[in-house]
Amino acid sequence: MDRHKIPRTKELEFGGVLGAACLLILLPATVFVLLLTCGTEQASLLNFPLPLPTLRSLWNPQDFVLVLAWVALQALLYMLPLGKVTEGTVLRDKSRLTYRINGIHAMWITALLVGVSMAAGLRLSYVYDHLLQLAFSASVLAFGLSILLYLKALIAPGTALAPGGNSGNPIYDFFIGHELNPRIGTFDLKFFCELRPGLLGWALINMGMLVKETELRGNPSLAMILVNAFQLLYVVDAFWNEEAVLTTMDIVHEGFGFMLAFGDLAWVPFLYSLQSYFLVTHPQKLSLPIAGGIILLNGLGYSVFRSANSQKNTFRRNPADPKVAGLKTIPTATGRRLLVSGWWGFVRHPNYLGDLVMAFAWSLPCGISHILPYFYVLYFTLLLIHREARDEHQCLRKYGLAWQEYCRRVPYRIFPYLY
């Protein structure tokens, strides 16, 4: 028997097989319920029943082609010989995969192409007018990709499977992801989808909402400008620090199945842009002092998020780096050391804290009369608490007593003095 073969998954997450089966329906349903609700005058989740569209009205071949063309463009840019090639983390068989880091180049080329197209007459407000159809097309693509990923995983060697997606149950493994790093040649499907189509699509949808508001009212509102600017900063930051994605849970531990495919292609671009979509039909006026306060709040969140992540990534690359060499650490049985000072001595997940402060700042320009624009911060809080629990479980299993000591010395998980 190959000693590197992935054993059967014993601990099932998300409620096991039944939970995975329900999420296959609930995740797409959530996207369309929120988009439909946001398009109504009241924008209230309490107004039922919603005016449900017909399947025929959701399916538009032209919009499906546009989504395919968008993904194909990003795939082409991903394959360009730009940027650097770097290695990922050590795999179970002690090998390392190589990745081309050129996301920032792809972002600038995409921005240039969009700018030229708009100068040539491209009506970017089409995104607003066809948002439901585009979301439906992205969902269909995500389901199709997930099926192909699962079929590919069935013929993959045992060493290539995901530790968390090898239960033997097809529904669960389809949802979680059966193969860890599915590739076509050197094209890494999971790494490509993690940032490229979804995050750039999110920024493009936001821009489409800004253009639509300008068409309706003559100029974009301060609230719309703030939402676009805050979220664009987040997207640019992700691509500027693209290499750091290689050490995240999604890349290192998660298989690539429906959960990530749907999240990357549909959930992120169409729900993370909910604030800008809301502002088109529910305009908000912001005074300059309030806008200034929101800007400061977002700046605080971004500062915590970026400095915490940079501290962690610098330490992982080179613990002797002068920027982190003076930080206190705890030795572990694996040979690695755990940071126990700096941001990582403040709370156990300071990057999550910064993320949540930013998420709140992104919703505030939408006012406080509706709960819908705050879906992102509410969902993200639940997501990060759940992810933090999964992180803690993985770290306890990996580091044992050293992790227990770390938890004793840093008692708060995300929110200081609260949680």
pLDDT digit string (tens) for 56-103?
Answer: 899 999 999 999 999 999 999 999 999 999 988 888 777 889 999 999
Q: What is the pLDDT of residue 60?
A: 95
Q: What is the mean pLDDT of residues 292-311?
A: 94
Q: What is the pLDDT of residue 102?
A: 95
Q: What is the mean pLDDT of residues 322-326?
A: 81
pLDDT band at 3 (very low <50, low <70, confident <90, very high): very low
- Distance from C-alpha of 77 to C-alpha of 416, rounded to nearest angstrom: 42
Q: What is the pLDDT of residue 323?
A: 83
Report DSSP letters for 32-73, one per residue. HHHHHHHTSSS--TTS-S--PPPHHHH--HHHHHHHHHHHHH
Residue corresponding to tokens 């005058």? 41
Identify which of 128, 139, 125, 127 has the alpha carbon closest to the alpha carbon of residue 32: 139
Q: What is the pLDDT of residue 4?
A: 56
Q: What is the mean pLDDT of residues 28-39?
A: 92
pLDDT band at 152 (very low <50, low <70, confident <90, very high): very high
Q: What is the mean pLDDT of residues 287-291?
A: 94
Radius of gyration of the chain (CA): 22
pLDDT of residue 1 exceeding 60: no
Residue corresponding to tokens 């997606």? 165
Residues 6+ apart with CB under 8 A from 385: 414, 419
Q: What is the mean pLDDT of residues 387-411?
A: 85
pLDDT band at 54 (very low <50, low <70, confident <90, very high): confident
Name the least confident of 27-31, 180-184, 322-326: 322-326
Question: How many other C-beta atoms lie within 10 A of the C-beta of residue 296?
Answer: 11
Pick the residue with more confidence: 390 or 291? 291
- Residue 304: φ, ψ to 5°: -65, -45
Question: How many other C-beta atoms lie within 10 A of the C-beta of residue 147?
Answer: 14
Q: What is the mean pLDDT of residues 282-286?
A: 92
- Distance from C-alpha of 120 to C-alpha of 72, rounded to nearest angstrom: 21
At 371, list the tokens. 């709960």
Are β-strands 98-101 and 84-87 bridged in parallel, bridged antiparallel, or unpaired? Answer: antiparallel
Q: What does the mean pLDDT of the chain come to? A: 90
Q: What is the pLDDT of residue 12?
A: 85
pLDDT band at 49 (very low <50, low <70, confident <90, very high): low
pLDDT of residue 382 exceeding 80: yes
pLDDT tens-digit map of 185-228: 999 999 999 999 999 999 999 999 999 999 999 999 999 999 99
At 369, list the tokens. 């009369």
Identify which of 267, 269, 152, 160 has the alpha carbon closest to the alpha carbon of residue 209: 269
Q: What is the pLDDT of residue 311?
A: 86
Q: What is the pLDDT of residue 327?
A: 85
Name the least confident of 169-178, 312-321, 339-348, 356-365: 312-321
- Give this prediction's pTM: 0.89
Residue 333 three-state SS: coil
Name the least confident of 26-30, 48-52, 341-345: 48-52
Q: Which helix (H) or strand (E) holds 85?
A: strand 84-87
Q: What is the mean pLDDT of residues 336-340?
A: 83
- Long-range (24+ apart) CB contacts under 8 A made by 17-25 are 17/167, 17/169, 17/171, 17/172, 20/171, 20/172, 20/174, 20/175, 20/176, 21/171, 21/175, 23/175, 23/259, 24/171, 24/175, 24/258
Q: What is the mean pLDDT of residues 303-325?
A: 84
At 187, list the tokens. 């094209």
- Distance from C-alpha of 145 to C-alpha of 111, rounded to nearest angstrom: 26
